[in-house]
Structure 1
Amino acid sequence: MIPAAVIDALRPVTGELHATAAASGGGCINETVRVAGTDGRCWFLKLNRADFSDVFAAEAEGLEELRRANALRVPRVHACGVAGEHAYLLLDDLELTGQADSEVAAKLGEGLARQHRFTAERYGWHRDNHIGATPQPNGWCDDWITFFRDRRLKFQLELAVRNGYASVVQPDGERVLENIEPFFTGYTPMPSLLHGDLWGGNWGVTATGEPVIFDPAVYYGDREADLAMTR
């Protein structure tokens, strides 16, 4: 059931809602449901606790940033906010029923290459966001090595230590942090627009064979970070 407060908040966008489908997707993080209006339009609704509103707000901004690149199909954001005890994010319902074959994979790769040509002057982003349920620190940085070391590797290492994995990751992790610069000798990547969390569960295929990307953790960085995430 969609909370009544959320239905009221969405009414200016959706009109009267006459049907909802069973929850679909969303993993263990969000509740998701397909919503239909009386005029036949459909949307994809994500719900969580009210204190999750900043996560949805960052996701909405990330989706709009990806749409600005005009490189791949990205769901449009129709509404984002808090109503009562729930945060909500209302997106296009794209009915991802197609199959990911080699032709679709080629389209995804070509679109991703176009997206990576959409660049910024520095690395990072203007706000922090989340990769799944994990906070992802961003902020702007002039140097890729510094950004990647401090806001990606070091942050994840500190998180692992806080969660009881110090003996497993700390010795080798600290050596990586101390000796990372030689890996980038003579290499200065362009700050490309990245999806940031492009594993297989965060892209799909429409019935017409068009690849779609969603659930981003957007920032500007080395395009190879996106490619590595797809493996």
Structure 2
Amino acid sequence: MIHKVENILREMGDQSPLNEVTPVSGGDISRSFKAKTANGVYFIKINDEAAKDFFQKEAEGLNLLRQAGALPVPQVYHVSSPSADDGYIVMEWVKGEPAPDTESRLGHGLALLHQHTHTHYGLAENNYIGKLPQPNGWEKSWIRFLREQRLGFQAKLADKRGRLPIGRKTRLEKLLDRLDQWVPDYHQPVLLHGDLWSGNWLAGPGGEPYLIDPAVFYGEREFELAFTELFGGFSPRFYAAYRDVQPLSDDYEEVRPLYQLYYLLVHLNLFGESYGPSVDRILRYYVG
């Protein structure tokens, strides 16, 4: 592995001696390393089984978040080409300790990110949610986008993988047919991180919150907030700071489980039936 990291850094342009390579724990998709040379300290992710453009899409997502300027993200130094045998990405090494106001700054920054608007939902290109494909064709209607490119796409994938028993499939089809009963079509597309759980942000120098591992697209902002509540890990300070900038709608409590359903379907497809009961619970809540 040291030889592979050396080759990656040389291809990037750092020809200085490699002083340190340390495995980094934390992700379940790629092997991660901290690499230190005379010229710098880097964070490197390597995956020879991911899609050829997997890390390119990650880099594009990070760059889009950086351009928004609401929250910092690690600088991307180098990404493997689609023709490479081993996919990899080299980024700035970010390390710090949370400060008392770190989560407040995260909530405030996320609310500012959600002020970056677009005329349509989606993104110019498809990307990934975890290691699953995430389609992003532009769509004027949030309800159609949610039905076809989020819930519907994951439902088809789950069906192919044998994870939609007949009762679950029937309820899901009913839900998709009746989305407009519960989902407001505000037409307020804003930039979303797209995969914001507690493992996809970190504290940098001075306690500054950094966003990592995005699955960006333009969507409804409460879709993002709903996911932050699905598995916990965000403090009341985070939500209070967010609401100070962007109050939640009157519809949020009713639509929150439906938005969370997308991420539960993703987890069902990634990790299996352990997420099935949670999917069923939400389906029964809406369609009986």
| SS of residue paired to 1:139 | coil
Structure 1 residues 51 and 166 mapped into 2: Cα distance closer, same or farther (>3 Å)?
A: closer
Give the distance between the partners of 1:160 and 1:17, measured in 2 at CA: 47
Give the distance between the partners of 2:51 and 2:98, measured in 1 at CA: 32
| SS of residue paired to 1:34 | strand
Residues matched between the structures, number = 225
Instruction: Decide whether the 8 Å contact of 1:51 with 1:87 is kept in 2.
Output: yes
Partner in structure 2 of residue 162 of structure 1:
160
Show CA shifts across 1:165-213 (max 9, x none): 221531111111010012134x414110000000110011124111111
Shift of 1:220: 0.4
Instruction: Decide whether the 8 Å contact of 1:47 with 1:89 is kept in 2.
Output: yes
- 5 Å-filtered alignment, 1:44-193, equals 44-49=43-48, 52-82=51-81, 85-95=85-95, 97-99=96-98, 101=100, 103-167=101-165, 169-185=168-184, 187-193=185-191
Instruction: Decide whether the 8 Å contact of 1:53 with 1:88 is kept in 2.
Output: no
Structure 1 residues 23 and 52 mapped into 2: Cα distance closer, same or farther (>3 Å)?
A: farther
Partner in structure 1 of residue 284 of structure 2:
none
Structure 1 residues 129 and 17 mapped into 2: Cα distance closer, same or farther (>3 Å)?
A: farther
Letter matched to residue 28 of structure 2: C
Structure 2 residue corresponding to 1:215, chosen from 203, 213, 216:
213
Structure 2 residue corresponding to 1:204, chosen from 199, 202, 205:
202
Instruction: Decide whether the 8 Å contact of 1:73 with 1:211 is kept in 2.
Output: yes
Letter matched to residue 228 of structure 2: T
Letter matched to residue 145 of structure 2: F
| SS of residue paired to 1:28 | coil
| SS of residue paired to 1:215 | coil
| SS of residue paired to 2:218 | strand
Shift of 1:18: 1.8
Task: Return the structure number with greater helix share.
Answer: 2
Letter matched to residue 176 of structure 1: L
Instruction: Decide whether the 8 Å contact of 1:50 with 1:85 is kept in 2.
Output: no
Range that drifts further, 207-216 or 47-56: 47-56
Structure 2 regions of 5+ residues with no counterpart?
A: 230-288
Shift of 1:51: 5.5
Letter matched to residue 94 of structure 1: V
| SS of residue paired to 1:78 | strand
| SS of residue paired to 2:182 | helix
Give the distance between the partners of 2:77 and 2:90, measured in 1 at CA: 5
Structure 1 residue corresponding to 2:10, chosen from 8, 11, 14:
8
Instruction: Decide whether the 8 Å contact of 1:6 with 1:86 is kept in 2.
Output: no
Show CA shifts across 1:46-71 (max 9, x none): 11117533010111000000000000
Task: Return the structure number with greater strand share.
Answer: 1
Instruction: Decide whether the 8 Å contact of 1:71 with 1:114 is kept in 2.
Output: yes
- 5 Å-filtered alignment, 1:25-44, equals 25-39=25-39, 41-44=40-43
| SS of residue paired to 1:32 | strand
Partner in structure 1 of residue 280 of structure 2:
none
Give the distance between the partners of 2:85 and 2:92, measured in 1 at CA: 23
Shift of 1:73: 1.1
| SS of residue paired to 1:142 | coil
Structure 1 regions of 5+ residues with no counterpart?
A: none
Letter matched to residue 88 of structure 1: Y
Identity, in percent, stands at 36
Instruction: Decide whether the 8 Å contact of 2:196 with 2:224 is kept in 1.
Output: yes
Instruction: Decide whether the 8 Å contact of 1:21 with 1:35 is kept in 2.
Output: yes
Q: TM-score normalized by structure 1?
A: 0.90
Structure 1 residues 85 and 5 mapped into 2: Cα distance closer, same or farther (>3 Å)?
A: farther
Partner in structure 2 of residue 21 of structure 1:
21
Q: TM-score normalized by structure 2?
A: 0.73
Give the distance between the partners of 1:50 and 1:17, measured in 2 at CA: 28
